[in-house]
Amino acid sequence: MTNEATAQIITANDLLSGEVVYLSDAGKWSPEHGDAALLGNVQADARLSEVQKSDPSVVGPYLAGATQRDDAPSPIHFREVFRTKGPSNRFLGKQAHAV
Amino acid sequence: MPLENPITSVSDRVAELNHRYRDQDTSDVLRHALHDPMIGPIALVSSFGAEAVVLLHMISAIDPTTPVIFIDTKMLFAETLDYQLKLTQELGLTDVRRISPTREAVFLRDSENLMHLHDRDACCALRKSEPLEGALAGFDAWISGRKRFQGGQRTTLELFETDDDLRVKINPLAHWSREDVADYIAANNLPRHPLVAKRYRSIGCSPCTTPVGTGENDRAGRWRDDDKIECGIHFASDGSAQRAPANVIVNDEGFAPEHWRGEFSSFDDLGNISEAQKAALAVDLSNVADAAALLPWIDQIDLIRVEFPVFSDGRGFSLARQLRLLGYQGRLRAKGHVLADQYAMARRSGFDEVEIDQGLAERQPEAQWLARADWQARDYQQQFHQCA
Amino acid sequence: MYNYTMFDKDFVANRAAQFRDQVQRRIDGSLTEDEFRPLRLMNGLYMLLHAYMLRVAIPYGTLSTAQMRALADVADRWDKGYVHFSTRQNIQFHWPHLQDVPDILEALAKVDMHAIQSSGSCIRSITSDHFAGAAEDEAEDPRPTAEFVRQWSTDHPEFAFLPRKFKVAVTGSKHDRAVTKLHDIGLTLVRNATGAAGYEVSVGGGLGRTPMIGKVLREFLPRADLLAYLDAILHVYNRIGRRDNKYKARIKITLHENGIDEIRRQVENNFKLQRARFDGSDQDIFARIEGDFEPPVFKQASIGGYEATRNDDPLFRSFTDTNLHPHKNTDYTIVTVSLKAHGATPGDASSAQMRALADIAQEWSHGELRVSHEQNIILPHVHKSDLPSVHKALRNAGLATANIGLISDLIACPGMDYCDLATARSINVAQGIATRFDELKLEHEIGHLKLKISGCINACGHHHVGHIGILGLEKRGVESYQITLGGDGTETAAIGKIIGPGFSADEILPAIERLIAAYLDLRLDASEIFLTAFRRLGPAPFKAAIYTDEVKNHAA
């Protein structure tokens, strides 16, 4: 899913709660995909390696492809869509927090 | 190979050359050096890395037939190989010699391509220093792209140096700053290494190179997490790379300094040890060694040090067990990346002590190791071997 | 059941305390995530898609009522009020917070439970026959051996950082219910010509990317040599197993690349050295463990009421038709409680259901519960006269689904609804199939069928050994499901064969329907189960049914 034209976001899981989080423009971790900073490939690689090296507050940060939709970054891959919601067999995770 | 009949020694020539070229512009240094009667045949040794294009461009302008030696360690980034082909073509270089370690050497010493994990110096020797040594046969001097601003041992770099009193080593860019490099590349509109865009500022082999963060030294991405700073073709004049402070020995009482005063022999040296060495014999073992091969010396060895390249590689524990099963009764030490959480495992597998570097000792202080000093407690294995 | 000694209790409590310290050191920065990861994995703590997951070991699938209640308490207090019984005789909590895990482990330690070695590159929790000590067809009880091996493998200093995970199964029945031949080491209890107890040892079985059936390394290993021989196998594997490629690191590949003769030679050489370390103390421990597995005192009572209720109550009759297995004591039976209510998530149980199961086991199953790798709960010792009461209590808890061994008794890994490795969902496919065949009222007609679903190539849903296997993959950015046929996880183990191109999430259920319709058409009679029909006919007629011309055109 990653090609040169795709923008990237940085995502991980929170160290304590395990919740899915996204790196925002301000360099903070947010539970909302909409807060994620959309990065170009080169920029994304650099930010990711910074985060991997120096941010112990999250687990397993990685890049995921995203596109700008309705003024907010939106996931491309179905796996990342699931991560913005929660399991489909139970109403738990982010989908439940949103209520 | 030096000149047939060198007029003076290499070090005398180097002193003279440094004096003579002191105030010259870099391309003049190169232009003149290539034809200086005091210097025999010259080759440019290039990594085709982040800044290599500067010297390659200069050489191509002066004499594109100058031999260029490119060491393909067989672990380079694909981008480097592409870049080498591209530059060679664009600059019209006619004598680029791509050299590699021999298949036999790699097969014998690093068939799994994992040596970089446990012995980076040996890996550099196998893949860089030794092939280069062979390729430099017949040359009196070689040109390198090292610069003072890169730091480490390079801050005192001279234009001319001796290379082990065998050859002259020329560092035309010794005084260049990072900005000088950037300006030159921009002014001449030279192609950049593709990885530069991904924050790589010094590019070597892929397993040992990482991007560099803001504010970090340009070479911080090389051998990251290791105190190694030079690859081995540029070792300090005493023949060793610069090292961090002494390691810490951990035993059941906590941290202690090194107690072994003698040398550590390698497994390969065992065939040639002298009687004197036998009196106090310590051996370094890779964690892939076969303990059975040590059997002829097993009663003579006082200390065996087993390398732990990375804590998640548990082969060292089995090697320790095997050594003990074979009757080794001397001191047994686990050296390298061993965690405090593994101390009990190490002791139970047959090790007496652990050797860690200062960095790890700081991150995992003595108390964390002492918390595992009760390694004999709660041991299921011990129950099964009650009377053993 | 095995009674924890003071030694065991002290060990588990200490490990929980150790992990509390490790968690603290991760939070304060003494440990990097890279360093903490193997430590948390060794204590069963994963990071999955949406949250942490804590996998608690249920060694060889045995559970006391107190343990079941404690697990329910953990689910309520620190998780979301439910648990997931996995396909490896473990239990999983899918929503714990890191800082709560030490408290959870401490609570579990109080009932002699732990999460030690339930993940990571070490010797994993020992699996066994879930009917052990009860089944009529059992030759010898595998549980003492399983417990013995559990103790040997626990915190084994040499084998905590192996090339890859390592799984051991033990069985003592001619009907293999533990998928023994698909474990890294499979131990089958056997007797030699002189009647001495020992094991047939197979190695190199495994599912995953490269499924392989284990090969026999030793046809007869005397019981007294078991631990030395296991030490030798693991020692050889730890030294020569590949570490350069995760997908080639399991012992099945080591065996494949070196050949069984070379592995046997190395193992036997090392075994000679290892054996010298044993002085018989281990056999005293074995004898002590064996004493803990004495059968319960079975009651003497009439079973007349059982047949009477069967005649009167069709639901009860249906339940007892499918969910019972013959017990050694003919007045008793083994009840399998299905965690596969039609449309539910296979293997999930609410805390209320868990407490109900604990109550039922307390009253009617000598206080014992078992967990099967098929994601069901077993009441191993139920007197037939108690069955009507058991059935009623199960119905009240929503646990009386009468479908054991049928198509809706399928197993499924959590898939992409939870798992970070998954390439597709599996739960939704399981729910769809179970619901559909229930609607069609066909599953009793179809009869015995093992359907197994994995959400990725790692095969936690054991799809390779399903009579029908479904593997969820990703194709061009969408979920795609591949069907395998003819797999078998029993003593006649076989790896299923891929039948053809995959189906989308919408197409997989109709494809399974066509497959089943073809089977009903093609079978000799109702007694010929799917697997037998498949073995008789080969894949061609099933393939033709799955890939109709319309489907082919659509796919093209």
Chain C residues with CB under 8 Å of B114 CB are 243-244
CATH topology of domain C6-109: Sulfite Reductase Hemoprotein; domain 2 (3.90.480)
Q: Find which of A39, A41, A45 to mutate to test the B interface (most B CBs within 10 Å of its CB).
A: A45
Residue A1 lies in a domain: no
**Is C278 in contact with B388 (Cβ distance < 8 A)?**
yes
Residue A92 lies in a domain: yes
Q: Kindly state the average pLDDT of the residues C367-387.
A: 97
Residue B238 lies in a domain: no
User: Does residue B299 share a domain with residue B155?
Assistant: no
Q: Kindly state the average pLDDT of the residues B177-201.
A: 84
What is the predicted pLDDT for the residue at A2?
41
Residue B16 lies in a domain: yes
Residues lower than pLDDT 70 in chain A: 1-5, 99
Chain A residue with CA closest to C431: the answer is: A89
Provide the pLDDT confidence category of residue B195 given band limits of 50, 70 and 90.
Answer: confident
Residue B233 lies in a domain: no
Cβ contacts from A onto B, under 8 A: 16
CB contact at 8 A, C95 and A96: no
Question: Domain boundary at B173, B204, B221, which?
Answer: B221
**B112 shares contact with chain C (CB less than 8 Å):** yes
Tell me the shortest Cα–Cα distance from B226 to chain A, in angstroms.
15
Number of domains composing chain A: 1
Chain B residues with CB under 8 Å of A53 CB are 213
Domain boundaries, chain C: 6-109, 127-292, 304-396, 411-555
Residue B271 lies in a domain: yes
Q: Which H or E run contains C382? A: strand C377-383
Chain B residue with CA closest to A44: the answer is: B198
CA angle at B334 for the pair B333 and B335, rounded to the nearest 5°: 110
User: Does residue B212 share a domain with residue B290?
Assistant: no
Q: Name the residue among C377, C374, C442 with its Cα closest to residue C407.
A: C442
Angle between helices C101-109 and C65-78 (to 10 degrees): 160
**Is C50 in contact with A93 (Cβ distance < 8 A)?**
yes
**Is C158 in contact with B325 (Cβ distance < 8 A)?**
no
ipTM: 0.94
Choose between C68 and B267: higher pLDDT. C68
Segments forming the whole domain that contains residue B43? 10-221
Chain A residues with CB under 8 Å of C479 CB are 78
Fold match between domain C6-109 and domain C411-555:
no
Calculate the alpha carbon distances from C144 to C77, C126, C370 in Å: 33, 12, 15
- The fraction of chain C above a pLDDT of 90, given in percent, is 94
Gyration radius of chain C over CA positions:
23
Q: Report the range of poorest mean pLDDT among B57-66, C48-57, C167-176.
A: B57-66
Q: Find which of B192, B196, B198, B201 to mutate to test the A interface (most A CBs within 10 Å of its CB).
A: B198
Residue B265 has pLDDT above 80, yes or no: yes
pLDDT digits (tens, 9 = 90+) for C333-355: 999 999 999 999 999 999 999 99
Residue C436 has pLDDT above 70, yes or no: yes
Chain centroid, CA A42 distance in Å: 17
User: Does residue B256 share a domain with residue B357?
Assistant: yes
- Per DSSP, B162 falls in state E
CATH (residue range C304-396):
3.90.480.20
Q: What is the mean pLDDT of chain C?
A: 96
Tell me the shortest Cα–Cα distance from B82 to chain C, in angstroms.
26
Instruction: Give partners of A (≥3 CB pairs < 8 A).
Output: B, C
Residue B255 lies in a domain: yes
What is the predicted pLDDT for the residue at A18?
97
User: Does residue B183 share a domain with residue B42?
Assistant: yes
Q: Residue C33: CB partners within 8 Å, gap ≥ 6? A: A56, A59, A60, C26
* CATH number assigned to the domain comprising residue B174: 3.40.50.620
Q: Report the range of poorest mean pLDDT among B88-92, C59-63, C308-312, C398-402.
A: B88-92
CB contact at 8 A, C423 and C473: yes
What is the predicted pLDDT for the residue at A54?
84
User: Does residue B192 share a domain with residue B140?
Assistant: yes
User: Does residue B211 share a domain with residue B64?
Assistant: yes
Chain centroid, CA C363 distance in Å: 26
Residue C305 burial (CB count, 10 A): 15
Q: Report the range of poorest mean pLDDT among B208-217, B266-275, C43-52, C283-292.
A: B208-217
- Alpha-carbon distance of C263 to C556, in angstroms, equals 47
What is the predicted pLDDT for the residue at A1?
41
- Alpha-carbon distance of C68 to C419, in angstroms, equals 24
Burial C255-294 (b: 16+ CB within 10 A, else e): bbebeeeebbebbeebbebbeebbeeebbebbeebeeebe
- Alpha-carbon distance of C227 to B156, in angstroms, equals 61
- Alpha-carbon distance of B3 to C471, in angstroms, equals 70
User: Does residue B287 share a domain with residue B195?
Assistant: no
Q: What is the DSSP string of A30-90?
A: ES-GGGBPPB-HHHHHHHHHHHHHH-TTEEEEEEEEEEEETTEEEE-SHHHHHHHH--SSS
**Is C51 in contact with A90 (Cβ distance < 8 A)?**
no
Residue B61 has pLDDT above 90, yes or no: no
Residue B333 has pLDDT above 80, yes or no: yes
Chain C residues with CB under 8 Å of A17 CB are 51, 97-98
Residue of C10, C30, C279 with shortest CB distance to B388: C279
Chain A residues with CB under 8 Å of B198 CB are 42, 45-46
Q: Residue B121: CB partners within 8 Å, gap ≥ 6? A: B228, B232, B241
What is the predicted pLDDT for the residue at B236?
47
- The fraction of chain B above a pLDDT of 70, given in percent, is 90
C133: left (phi over 0), alpha (psi -120 to 50) or beta: left
**Is A49 in contact with B199 (Cβ distance < 8 A)?**
yes
pLDDT digits (tens, 9 = 90+) for C492-550: 999 999 999 999 999 999 999 999 999 999 999 999 999 999 999 999 999 999 998 77
Residue C163 burial (CB count, 10 A): 26
What is the predicted pLDDT for the residue at B186?
83
Residue B155 lies in a domain: yes
Q: Kindly state the average pLDDT of the residues C451-474.
A: 96
Residue A78 lies in a domain: yes
CB contact at 8 A, C238 and C232: no
What class, spelled out in words, does domain C411-555 have in CATH? alpha beta
CB contact at 8 A, A2 and A63: yes
CB contact at 8 A, C548 and C514: yes
Residue of C22, C270, C276 with shortest CB distance to B341: C22
One-letter identity of residue A78: F
Q: Which H or E run contains C218? A: strand C215-222
* CATH number assigned to the domain comprising residue B372: 3.20.20.70
User: Does residue B164 share a domain with residue B30?
Assistant: yes
Segments forming the whole domain that contains residue A30? 7-97
Tell me the shortest Cα–Cα distance from C123 to chain A, in angstroms.
25
CB contact at 8 A, B304 and B320: no
pTM of the model: 0.77
Number of domains composing chain B: 2
Q: What is the mean pLDDT of chain B?
A: 84
Residue B267 has pLDDT above 60, yes or no: yes
CATH topology of domain C127-292: Sulfite Reductase Hemoprotein; domain 1 (3.30.413)
Q: Kindly state the average pLDDT of the residues C117-145.
A: 96
Q: Kindly state the average pLDDT of the residues C439-450.
A: 96
Q: Which H or E run contains C181? A: none
Burial A22-61 (b: 16+ CB within 10 A, else e): bbbeeeebeebbebbbbbebebbbbbbbbbbeebeebbeb
Catalytic residue IDs of B: 231
Residue A81 lies in a domain: yes
